[in-house]
Structures are given as structure tokens and as C-alpha cells.
Amino acid sequence: MKQLSNGDYLVFLVYFIIVASYGFWVYRRKHNADATSKDYFLAEGSLTWWAIGASLIASNISAEQLIGMSGSGFKMGLAISTYEWMAALTLIIVAVFFIPVYLKNRIYTMPQFLHQRYNGTVAMIMAIFWLLLYIVVNLMSILYLGALAISGISGLSVEICIMFLAVFAIIITLGGMKVIGYTDVIQVFVLILGGAVATYLALSRLSGETGLSGMLHGFSLLTANSKDHFKMILHKDNPNYIDLPGLTVLIGGMWIVNLNYWGCNQYITQRALGANLKTARGGLLFAAFLKLLMPLIVVIPGIATYELYKQGMFHQEMLSAKGVLDVNKAYPSLLNLLPSGLKGLSFAALTAAIVASLAGKANSIATIFTLDIYKKAIKKDATDRQLVILGKISVVIAMLLGVIMSLIIGEALMGEGKQGFQYIQEYTGFVSPGILAMFLLGFFWKKATSNAALFSTIGGFIFSVVFKLLKFADLSFMAPYGFSKLVLQDDGVTSRYEIPFMDRMGFVFVICVIGMYIISKIETSRGVTTNGLDVDRSMFHTSRAFTAGALIITGILVALYSVFW
């Protein structure tokens, strides 16, 4: 039933009041009228390790996971969990190798790193790239997928739900990074609790029993009846191979996805850049532990919904307006089975995930625009007060643009049975390889030049587009090597093949690294100087506690992949 009871609205109202009141208290207690722009945008020195870790997860887990990844779980199974589990290992790598470089060189934004390491041209190009990416891909997709889910539960129109999410996110974001960081602790608690309720419901419904024994029995039935949905490494004959091409998730493109997202992304690293090294590493390790749990509350419900769908449930609920099976409706369809009160809790959890992610994105957009574009190119003598005011205006404008695009093109890009999560990953992947190559060489190779970075930035995007367009060419000769996958197109003469987007990212990354190396070697041989960062081996030493935690996470990951290979 697509409507909320009075009890559900009461639960949601309590959640809203708690988050808003706590956010206002944090703002009043920690706000300083003379606060600098860095204090507002980065909460410099005021976030604890647990606040950093919780904020990372709250900002990361959004509609694209709860809705998009659950939908992918419905369609392709546990394999989609590789994004979460490989992220846990990536967070450890970022904590050990990336964060020390940022903090040692007092880097607060990603464009600032590019300006300091390369030059202003590279930094400005990438600042504009990131703004477009965050607004056109991220804000728009989170608003649309989130509104689709909330509409599916509440019965309200998608348009009204988009407006509600945008307004709620603006309220949180205007308080600055401190308010976002600390309210995210509540958001993550509600998110995990609500997600756990959905998982409990799904497994209990499968087993016909309640309690822990019912959950375990339901999971046992799920793994037995949907064996094809419990494989982490997909083979070439799997119809979902185009999205997760075999071992690429362990040794190829998945590393580019994760290292770029967790290590070269303002939206994520911003949480740790205002802390000291010990606190930042502690927060990233805490986030890595939480990442191991995420498939339990976002993927398993999607697989359970698939099993229930096979048994005859949700056939009408999961149809789009045009009668097409829409996997993005898997999670909302499941939540509609919840009783009054619990449905309100899951509704609050869903809202928490969406709003936290929107707030994080909007804050990063404001940070990049004010500190890296306005301050550097438009008004270099702008005061901190002017920057903070402009940042707040930027939040509202960015959210408005996200709302407009989600209303106009959201359905065309992510509706009618499309996997919203895969849409986000693929289109982010057009810039990921070039960005990662530019950052890695910028970190650890002092001879990398500015022109080489420009090649990686612009050339990487162009190569990504070229590889994408190759699906219109005859690539059948590549099929025996596992580098391509049959596309459902046939002109009667030539079978068409498309390179999986993860493999495309791998190819483009290698091209960018080689291109940067050649260009840098030629330029440095002609006397071109570079701006190397302050890097030494001692920066990468970790404490015993951090090392122990990292080893535990690695061991758990080895066990998971061994069991579900």
C-alpha cells in the first residue's frame, strides 16, 4: 500500500525534529561569527574520528545505493557488492598513502592540490569538470532516485518528493561542514537501523518465520533458491558481464572507480582534510568497517525481493508507467510490506541517506566554487564573510539546478528499467581514469609536468568517449579475449560488441599514465621545472592499532570473496 499511516508520519516527524534540533544545537554551540571560510566549509579541527567515519558513510550511502544498488542486487545479485567491499580496502589505502600527502602539504580542496602541484589552468579546468559532474550526474541522480523511492512508499508525486528532499538538504547544508558532519552521525544510525529492518522483513517473509532463526532460515533459502545471484565474479556468459566484467572487479577498473572516488574526490576527502593525521586515519578505518556491512542492508534486500518476485509478488508494484519492469522499484516495493511505525522508520532511514548525501555534495560544490573559482579567478580579495555568504548562495543555486534537471531528464536517464547505480558509475567513469592518473603521478613522481596533466585531464575524457562510441563498430574479433561483450543490437550483417565500461576505464587509465610519462620526460629533458610535493617515507607509517584494524578488514574480505567467488 503506497501510503503512510499516522504512526509512520509520527516516527518520521520525531526523526526530523531530532536531526534539525541537533543540527541547530551544533551550529549555535560551534559557530563563530568570525569563523574563517575553511572552518565553515571544512570544519577544520573540530570533527572526531567517529564523526568523520559516520559522515563518510552517510554521505556515500544515498539513493544510488539504497535504490540503485538494491535494484542492481535484484538484477545481478551479490556481485554488485564489490563496490562496497572493495571500497573498504580502498579506504585503507587512501588512509595510508593519500591523506598524509594532503595533510602534509596543507591541501584542503582537490583543485588546490592541482594548482599547487601543476598550475592554475589544470586546477581551473578540473574545478569546472567537478562542478558539472557533481550537479549534472550526482545531485540530479540522487534527487530523482530518492524521490522515486519516497514516492513509491508514500504515494506522493515524484515532483513533490524532489522538492521536499531539496529543501531538507538545503536546511542541513547551510549550517556548514560541522553541522553536516555531526548530524551525519544520527543519519548513519537511522540509515543502518532502517536498512536492518528492511533486511529482517525480506528474510523473514521468505522463511515464514520471525526472529533470528527466521532470518537465518530465510538467508539459507535465499542462497539455495537464487544461487545465480550469489556469485561475486561473473563469467563471460553472464548477461550482467557488461557491468561487472569478471576479474576486472579485483585487478582492473574497480580500483580506478574506488581510488578516484575515495581518494581524489572533494565530496569525500573533505571530511578528513580538516583533521590531524591520526584522527583522519581513524575515521577512514571506521568507515571501512561500516562498508563491510553495507551489502547486508542494500544488496540482500534487493536479492530477496528478486526471490519474492519469482514467487509471484511485486509484479504490479515494480512496473513503470509504461509497463516495463523497473528494478529501481525493488527497495520501495519491499518497504511497502512493513507494518505501521516500522514503515515510518525505514522511510526516515531512506530520507536520512538521501539528505545526507545531497548535503555533502552541495557543500563540496560550494567549497570548490567559492575557494577555487571565485576566490582565485573572480575576486581574489574576497573576505571570509563574503565567501561564506557566497557559499550558502551556491548551495541553493546548485540544488535548484539539480531539481530542474531531475524533473526534466531524470526519467529519461534512469527510468524505464534502467539501473540507476550503473548510470552513475559509467558516466563518472568518463573522467575517473584521467583524474586518477594525474593524481597518482602528481603524488609520487616529481617529474610529472603540467602539460602532461592537461593531457590526462582532457585526453582521458576524449579517449573515454571514443571507447564508448566503439560499440557502433565491429569489435567481434575481441570477443574471444574477454575484453568485450555482445550488445543487443544487430543489423543483420554484423554483430555489435561493446567494451565493458570498467575495461574502458582500465584502457584509458593506462593510456593516460603512458602519455603523461612520455610528455613529462620530453619536457623535463628540455629544462621544464615541476612543482613536486613534500613527500617522504615516514609519512606512510601507521600505528599498531590502525595496522591491526586494516589486517582484520583485509582478512574478512578474503573470506567473503573465498565463500562467494
Whether residue 199 contacts residue 436, with contact meaning beta carbons closer than 8 Å, is answered with: no
**429 close to 505: Cβ distance less than 8 angstroms:** yes
Rounded Cα distance between 429 and 434, Å, is 9
**Percentages of the chain per state (helix, strand, coil), in multiples of 5:** 75, 0, 25
Residue 64 confidence (pLDDT): 67
Predicted pLDDT at 472: 55
Judge if 508 and 540 occupy the same domain: no
Q: Which of 192, 7, 120, 133 is nearest to 424 (CA)?
A: 133
Q: Is 262 within the bounds of a domain?
A: yes
| Contact between 234 and 244 (Cβ < 8 Å) | yes
DSSP 26-88: HHHHH--TT--HHHHHH-TTT--HHHHHHHHHHHHSSHIIIIIIHHHHHHH-GGGGHHHHHHH
Angle at which helix 277-298 crosses helix 177-207, to 10 degrees, equals 30
CA 261 – CA 138 distance, rounded (Å): 12
Structural domain includes residue 199: yes
Please give the model's pTM, rounded to 2 decimal places. 0.78
Q: What is the pLDDT of residues 492-533, one digit of tens each?
A: 444 556 677 788 888 899 999 999 999 999 999 888 888 877
Determine the structural domain holding residue 471 and report its residue range.
429-534
- Percent over 70 (pLDDT), the chain: 81
**pLDDT tens-place string over residues 167-215:** 888 877 776 666 666 666 676 777 777 778 778 888 888 887 777 777 8
Asked if residue 84 belongs to a domain, the reply is: yes
Reported as a single tens digit per residue, the pLDDT across 394-437 is 888 888 998 888 888 766 665 555 555 666 677 777 888 998 99
What Rg, from alpha-carbon coordinates, does the chain have? 23
In a domain, 22, yes or no: no
Kindly state whether residues 519 and 548 are assigned to the same domain. Answer: no
Alpha-helical segments (H) within 376-459: 384-414, 420-428, 432-444, 450-454
Residue 185 one-letter amino acid: V
What average pLDDT does this structure show over 135-150?
Answer: 81
3-class secondary structure, 369? helix
Cα angle: 244, vertex 245, 251; to 5 degrees: 100
What's the rounded mean pLDDT across residues 227-254?
A: 82
**Domain co-membership, 468 together with 507:** yes
pLDDT of 271 strictly over 70? no
Going by the DSSP 8-state scheme, the letter that residue 275 receives in this structure is S
Cell 587509465 belongs to: 509
DSSP state of 486: E
C-alpha triplet 297, 299, 300: angle, nearest 5°: 75
Residues 409 and 544 in one domain: yes
Dihedral sign from CA coordinates of 410, 414, 415, 420 = negative
What is the largest distance, in Å, between two alpha-carbon atoms of the chain? 74
Reduced to 3 states, what is the DSSP secondary structure of residue 313? coil
pLDDT tens digits, 147-180: 877 787 777 788 888 888 888 888 777 766 666 6
Three-state secondary structure call for residue 495: strand
Amino acid making up residue 466? V
pLDDT of residue 487: 46
Q: How confident is the model at residue 557 (pLDDT cuts 50, 70, 90)?
A: very high
Give the list of residues 6+ apart from residue 244 with CB closer than 8 angstroms, or none.
Answer: 76, 79, 80, 82, 234, 500, 502
Question: What's the pLDDT at 308?
Answer: 84
Query: For position 183, what pLDDT does the model report?
Result: 67
What pLDDT score was predicted for residue 161?
87
Among 267, 245, 244, 348, smallest CA distance to 8 is for 348
Task: Tell me if 392 is assigned to some domain.
Answer: yes
CATH number of 288's domain: 1.20.1730.10
Q: Which residues partner with 495 through β-bridges? A: 490
Q: Are residues 145 and 108 in the same domain?
A: yes
Q: Is 18 a member of any domain?
A: no
Q: Which residues contact 223 (CB under 8 A, 6 or more apart)?
A: 230
Domain count, the chain: 2
Residues 292 and 274 in one domain: yes
Q: Is the pLDDT score of 486 beyond 50?
A: no
Helix H or strand E encompassing 6: helix 6-30
406 lies in the same domain as 483: no
The amino acid at residue 281 is R
Task: Name the grid cell of 31.
Answer: 559557530
Tell me, yes or no, whether 455 and 311 share the same domain. no
pLDDT given for residue 406 in this prediction:
84
Which residue from 253, 229, 196, 240 is spatially nearest to 419, judged by alpha carbons?
Answer: 240
Amino acid 518: pLDDT: 95
The enclosing H or E element of 150 equals helix 140-154
How many CA atoms lie within 13 Å of 12's alpha carbon, on the beta-carbon side? 20
Classify burial at 193, counting beta carbons within 10 Å of its beta carbon; exposed 0-12, middle 13-18, buried 19 or more. middle
Residues 172 and 248 in one domain: yes
- Please say whether the beta carbons of 67 and 74 come within 8 A: no
Which pLDDT belongs to residue 494? 47
Q: How confident is the model at residue 484 (pLDDT cuts 50, 70, 90)?
A: very low
311-315, 405-409, 557-561: the lowest-pLDDT one:
311-315
User: Average pLDDT of the chain?
Assistant: 79
Residue 285: its pLDDT value, please? 92
Domain identity same for 411 and 439: no
3-state secondary structure labels for all residues of 276-305? CHHHHHHHHHHHHHHHHHHHHHHCHHHHHH
Whole-number pLDDT of residue 449? 92
Burial of 551 (0-12, 13-18, 19+ CB in 10 A): exposed
Place of cell 558532519: 181
Q: Region 380-387: what's the mean pLDDT?
A: 80
Is residue 42 a part of any domain in this protein?
no
Is there a domain that residue 345 lies in? no
Q: Is 376 in the same domain as 500? A: no
**Alpha-carbon span 290 to 293, nearest angstrom:** 5
Q: What is the pLDDT of residues 26-53, one digit of tens each?
A: 767 655 545 555 555 555 555 678 778 8
Instruction: Label residue 548 by pLDDT band (50, 70, 90).
Output: very high
Residue 497 and residue 391 share a domain:
no
Residue type, 558: V
Which pLDDT tens digit goes with each residue over 435-479?
899 999 988 888 999 999 999 988 988 998 888 777 655 555 555
- CB count within 10 Å of CB 22 equals 15
